[in-house]
C-alpha cells in the first residue's frame, strides 16, 4: 500500500523504505518490526534529556485535562505566564520579554520582524539584514532568505529578499570581522547568527572570541544582534546557551527544539526592553503584527515548564559534561581512521568528514544513512559531514554502537 504522506526532505522517487516508529524511550526509538534504534541525532536535534521523559510526559497529560488551547491575543494562561517568567529568570538580562511561536523557523521570522518593526517605529527605516555564509535558520520564506542559498532554495529564489553576507570565519577571522564592520557602518537593521556552530550548513564551528567581536561591532554601529540558538541552545555546546561562552547577550534570542525537551513544538523569541518599548504605545498601528493560531499553546507551555524544572532540579550540566567527555574519547579514536578528516567537537556535538570524494564514497550520505538504519542507528549525515548529537542520557554502550557502526561502514566502503 502506498502512503499518502509526503515526508520532509525526502525524495519519494528513490523508493526508500520509511520505517514505522511505534514508541521511544531514553536514547532509543523502536520500530514496528521490533528493532531498537539508537537515536544519534536527537530526532533532528530536539530531544535533550531523552525521549518520553516521565516529568515532561506527565506535565503534558496533566495540562491536556485542564486547558488544551486558548486564543493568546487578549487572553493568557498560567503555563505561559510561568514559563515566560522562568525564561526571563534563566536567560541573561536584559532579555525581559518573551514572544511565543511554534517552531525554530517562526522564532526567526518573529525576530526579523521585530528588528524591522523596531527601526520602523523609531522612524529610522533600516531594513538590511546581515547574515553569515553557510547559515541555516529554517525553511519559511524569511528564514530561507537569511540562510545559505543553494539547491534547497533555488526554486524559491523569487520569494527571497536580499541580505548582506559576511564570510564564514576561516583560520584568520579578520576578513569576517572587516566585512561585518564595513556592512554595519553602511547601515543595517540586524545581524542574525548561529552562535559557535553552524548546524545544517555542515556543523561548522568558530571560536567564542569571534562571536564576542561580532557582537561588539554590532553594538558599536547600532545593528541589532539576533542569536539563533534554536539548535545550539539547551546545552548542546556545553553551556545552556552558546552565547555564554562568548560572554555576549543578544538583542533578540531565538529558542525552540530543546525548549520542551523535544517533546512538543514550541518556540520563543526573547527581546530586550528597548525592542519591546519601540512597539509600546497607545497607537494600535505600532503593535507587533504577528500571531499564529497556536501561539503559546498551554500543553506545549506545560511541557516547557517541566523541561525548565528538570534544568533546575537535576544535574543536567553534569550529564552534558559527561557526554562531552565520552564524545571526545570516541572522536579521538575515529579520527585515527584513514577515511576520517576534520574531527571536531563543541560540547556534546561531535563532527567529522568522511570519504575520498570520488567513486563509491562520493555519494556517501545516503549510503551511510541507509547502512546506519540497517544497523539500528538513526544517523543523517550532511553530505560528507557526519555528526553525532545524541540525547544527554545516552549510555556508553549505545554511544559505542554508533561509532562502531560508522567504523564498519568506512572499513567496508574503502575495502
Ligand X SMILES: Cc1ncc(COP(=O)(O)O)c(C=O)c1O
Which parts of this chain interact with ligand X (CB under 6 A)? 45, 103-105, 108, 136-138, 194, 199-200, 228, 230-231, 256
184 or 200, CB closer to ligand X? 200
Cβ distance to ligand X smaller for residue 194 or 398: 194
Contact 27, 395 (CB under 8 A): yes
Shortest gap between Cβ of 361 and ligand X (angstroms)?
Answer: 26
Q: How far is the CB of 141 from ligand X (least distance, A)?
A: 12
C-alpha torsion angle, residues 274, 280, 284, 290 (rounded to 10): 50
CB of 293 to ligand X, least distance (A): 16
Q: Residue 399 corresponds to which cell in the numbers above?
A: 554511544
The minimum distance between CB 232 and ligand X, in angstroms, equals 7
Q: How far is the CB of 177 from ligand X (least distance, A)?
A: 21
CB nearer to ligand X: give 143 or 302.
143
Taking a C-beta distance cutoff of 8 angstroms, is the pair 156, 202 a contact? no
Cα–Cα distance measured from residue 104 to residue 143, given in angstroms and rounded to the nearest whole number: 9
Q: Which is nearer to ligand X, 104 or 142 (CB)?
A: 104
Provide CB contacts within 8 A for 148, sequence distance 6+.
Answer: 133, 134, 135, 136, 201
Q: Name which of 31 and 140 has its Cβ closer to ligand X.
A: 140
Which is closer to ligand X, CB of 99 or CB of 136?
Answer: 136
Residues 6 or more apart from 73 whose CB is under 8 A from it?
291, 295
Q: Cβ of residue 387: shortest distance to ligand X, in angstroms?
A: 12
Q: Least Å distance between CB 98 and ligand X?
A: 17
Which residue of the chain is nearest ligand X when measured via CB? 104
Comparison of 228 and 353: residue with beta carbon closer to ligand X: 228
Amino acid at each position: 500500500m502506498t502512503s499518502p504522506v509526503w515526508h520532509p526532505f525526502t525524495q519519494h522517487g528513490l523508493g526508500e523504505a520509511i520505517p514505522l516508529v511505534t514508541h521511544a524511550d531514553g536514547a532509543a526509538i523502536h520500530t514496528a518490526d521490533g528493532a531498537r534504534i539508537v537515536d544519534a541525532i536527537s530526532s533532528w536535534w530536539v530531544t535533550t534529556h531523552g525521549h518520553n521523559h516521565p516529568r515532561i510526559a506527565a506535565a503534558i497529560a496533566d495540562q491536556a485535562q485542564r486547558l488544551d488551547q486558548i486564543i493568546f491575543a487578549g487572553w493568557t494562561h498560567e503555563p505561559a505566564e510561568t514559563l515566560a517568567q522562568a525564561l526571563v529568570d534563566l536567560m541573561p538580562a536584559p532579555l525581559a520579554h518573551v514572544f511565543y511561536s511554534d517552531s525554530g523557523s517562526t522564532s526567526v521570522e518573529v525576530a526579523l520582524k521585530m528588528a524591522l518593526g523596531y527601526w520602523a517605529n523609531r522612524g529610522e527605516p533600516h531594513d538590511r539584514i546581515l547574515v553569515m555564509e553557510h547559515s541555516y535558520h529554517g525553511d519559511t520564506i524569511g528564514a530561507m532568505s537569511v540562510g545559505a542559498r543553494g539547491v534547497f532554495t533555488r526554486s524559491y529564489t523569487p520569494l527571497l529578499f536580499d541580505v548582506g553576507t559576511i564570510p564564514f570565519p576561516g583560520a584568520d577571522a579578520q576578513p569576517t570581522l572587516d566585512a561585518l564592520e564595513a556592512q554595519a557602518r553602511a547601515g543595517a537593521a540586524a545581524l542574525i547568527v548561529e552562535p559557535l556552530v553552524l548546524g545544517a550548513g555542515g556543523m561548522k564551528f568558530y571560536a567564542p572570541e569571534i562571536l564576542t567581536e561580532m557582537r561588539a561591532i554590532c553594538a558599536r554601529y547600532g545593528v541589532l544582534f539576533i542569536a539563533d540558538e534554536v539548535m545550539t541552545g539547551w546545552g548542546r555546546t556545553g553551556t545552556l546557551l552558546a552565547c555564554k561562552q562568548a560572554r555576549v547577550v543578544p538583542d533578540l534570542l531565538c529558542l525552540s527544539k530543546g525548549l520542551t525537551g523535544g517533546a512538543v513544538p514550541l518556540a520563543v523569541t526573547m527581546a530586550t526592553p528597548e525592542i519591546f518599548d519601540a512597539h509600546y504605545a497607545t497607537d494600535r498601528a505600532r503593535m507587533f503584527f504577528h500571531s499564529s493560531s497556536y501561539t503559546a499553546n498551554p500543553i506545549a507551555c506545560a511541557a516547557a515548564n517541566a523541561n525548565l524544572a528538570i534544568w533546575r532540579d537535576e544535574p543536567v550540566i553534569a550529564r552534558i559534561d559527561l557526554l562531552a567527555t565520552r564524545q571526545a574519547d570516541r572522536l579521538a579514536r575515529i579520527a585515527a581512521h584513514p577515511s576520517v578528516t576534520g574531527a571536531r567537537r563543541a560540547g556534546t556535538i561531535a563532527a567529522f568528514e568522511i570519504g575520498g570524494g570520488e567513486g563509491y564514497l562520493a555519494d556517501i550520505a545516503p549510503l551511510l544513512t541507509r547502512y546506519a538504519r540497517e544497523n539500528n542507528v538513526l544517523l543523517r549525515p550532511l553530505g560528507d559531514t557526519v555528526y553525532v548529537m545524541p540525547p544527554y542520557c545516552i549510555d556508553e554502550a549505545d554511544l559505542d554502537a554508533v561509532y562502531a557502526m560508522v567504523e564498519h561502514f568506512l572499513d567496508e566502503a574503502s575495502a
